[in-house]
Structure 1
Amino acid sequence: MSAKEWRKLFPILDQEVNGKPLVYLDSAATSQKPIQVIEALDKYYKEYNSNVHRGVHTLGTRATDGYEGAREKVRRFIGAKSTQEIIFTRGTTTAINTVARSYGMANLSEGDEIVITPMEHHSNIIPWQQVAKVTGATLKYIPLQPDGTIDLQDVEKTVTEHTKIVSVMQVSNVLGTINPIKEIAAIAHKNGAVMVVDGAQSAPHMKVDVQDLDCDFFAFSAHKMCGPTGIGVLYGKKALLNKMEPVEFGGEMIDLVGLQESTWKELPWKFEGGTPIIAGAIGLGAAIDFLEDIGLDNILKLEHELADYAMERLSELDGVTIFGPKHRAGLVTFNLDDVHPHDVATVLDSEGIAVRAGHHCAQPLMKWLEVTATARASFYLYNTEDDVDAFIKGLTTAKEYFGHVF
């Protein structure tokens, strides 16, 4: 199948916005959902809606099978050893916060170091800022090269024997930079640190093998990979997760409860307090089935082709600045000279073209780029060169409009 055929599987894309065919170029923020995922959610609510792990009735058994079956699909999808290493969370943000609050708070103290990069999403900066404030640890940053990439020599210089945590995104949601996680993890481990990976922009687009990367924790969200909102995954090595305390307490995650003391269930359930995200997990499982049927390699190839084509077309326009390296994931971040990105996005929206504009939850990176905001077009499996052409045509319209205004 081709991208044009894949597009037909996404009902939302078959519509007009402002009288123009919808061109959706904001998948880095959230992807659209194929009919297979929508139907899986619909079937759950219509046919076997029930709580899990608790009842012995038929609906409860079916719901539990669907929920735990999704956990096995996730395990296979990222190459984890065991389903005990797969924790369902509300998303990437919750997953990273869980590591910060449970592992970070318990294992860091004054004199220790946390190492991240200036390109990180706020959800991979603020939790570590809070850990540093509470524990007295120092937060350090690996410097970026002029094109927004990481030099491993800089990693070697920044990570020291005092470093306890290294936390880096695999793919930048702004620059499209694909970071050398496996090599960074090796440097972290050589210095006795654990490696945390923000996989929000990588898991939806490329094959991920957590054992090959040798990361200690890996976090990602369903809604960026054709799944529903409100659910994500924290992968952690079993030995580390077993030593960590839960961060949410209540029903479902307990073993025995007394008047003064309680004990916890085994992995993974000790981290999943309360009624879990049942429909979300089932929807995520359906999304994984969908992506594996298409093939992550096919998706990655298409996105690289679209990013290259978009950069080529953008370079034909005067007054456009493109941010990030030449070799990148499937997105292009840019600015139109003397025009605010929000104004660019508004004009594009009038043409039915959805792009992102703002700081992209990456204010430190905006400061490094010496801008207040940028515009971003991000691609997924349902995009085509026709979408890029429409985007360029819309951007030309914006240039002409603001050229007359100014």
Structure 2
Amino acid sequence: MRTGAAQAAGGVWSEVVGQPDAVATLSAAAGAAAQQVRGTQPDAGAMTHAWLFTGPPGSGRSVAARAFAAALQCAEELGPGCGECSACRTAMSGTHADVRVVVPEGLSISVAEMRSLVQAAARRPTTGQWRVVLIEDADRLTEGAANALLKAVEEPPPRTVFLLCAPSDHPEDVSVTIRSRCRVVPLRTPLAPAIATVLRDRDGVEPEIAEWAASVCGGHIGRARGLATDPQTRERRESVLSVPLGVHRFQDVFTAAAGLVNLAESEAVAANEGRNEAEREELKTAMGAGGTGKGTAAATRGANAALKELEKRQKSRTTRSQRDSLDLALVDLAGFFRDVLVLRAGSDAPLNHPDYRRSSSKAATEWTSESVLRRLEAVLACRTALARNVKPIVAVEALTAALFRG
């Protein structure tokens, strides 16, 4: 069996960018888990039943969790985590029978959904080595859902592993009682050279574009890929970064706010439109749409009720996508004001938006440090308001008004 250091060079671990410490920990745990399955004595303390992956957006929390799930299921002698066997491929793609991936459709994970998940987790694995439950955005658990999960984590089935992902391990994000029963895997923001290498080698992006995307993505791997390959993603970023120097008159407050919200809405619609339509057609087919004969009327009523429920879930998913898109725009704005402070201080620290150095330099000469800090605080306050479900247009108008006042 390969060591963790050797595994880090390839297999499923090649998907985990810029996280050598995490890969070493997880590969050692996967090796211990394989020993446990074979009935041999595993390395003491290497493997446990509950894990919490933490780190900033874009650090690859869910990717690391999926890679770990694949390594746990890997049945090849080259493993764990060879990346070539059927278990590895299906676990990474989310289709493995014994790997349950929970991605919140809306702004929270309900207690009913979690109870159903806990019941499924209690069963023995069917085809794999372990039954793995992977919960993305575990910070979205409601209090009831967290309590339902806690009971399963406290008394886990013998061959079940829980993998939770959250932006941080702060008690406000993840229940303290759950966190205390998990082994925490902290992920850091990947460095730009590591991201550029992935874009070049795995995605075939031209070196110059890869380096630019890696330098402006804020350490967010998915964002870097979008900037490198999607012109619309680049255009949206340009629109966002035009806001700080574009609010000259009071009427610009409302224009800029509407523009930011509309950008987020259009991105959310574009991200979910194809999936929504496919789900509707699949449900209509399953409910016998277009059928004739006895029972058709009752089936139609049932289909209409199911469609309404589906549309409700889709609306919740689109709302979440809009909030996420808007939050990403706010992160870009916060990065711009941080760059202005860096330039005013005369620091040689790298800029978040090096390609907008001319704009941030202009702002640095025209604004005081106090006014830049007020603008930055307004961005952070807007993020907090959105997290508390304030209507987006209201929160963003308050932000752009603060940018106008300076």
Normalising by structure 2, we get a TM-score of 0.31
Structure whose alpha-carbon radius of gyration is higher: 2
More helix by share: 2
Greater relative CO, 1 or 2 (CA 8 Å, sep 6+): 1
More strand by share: 1
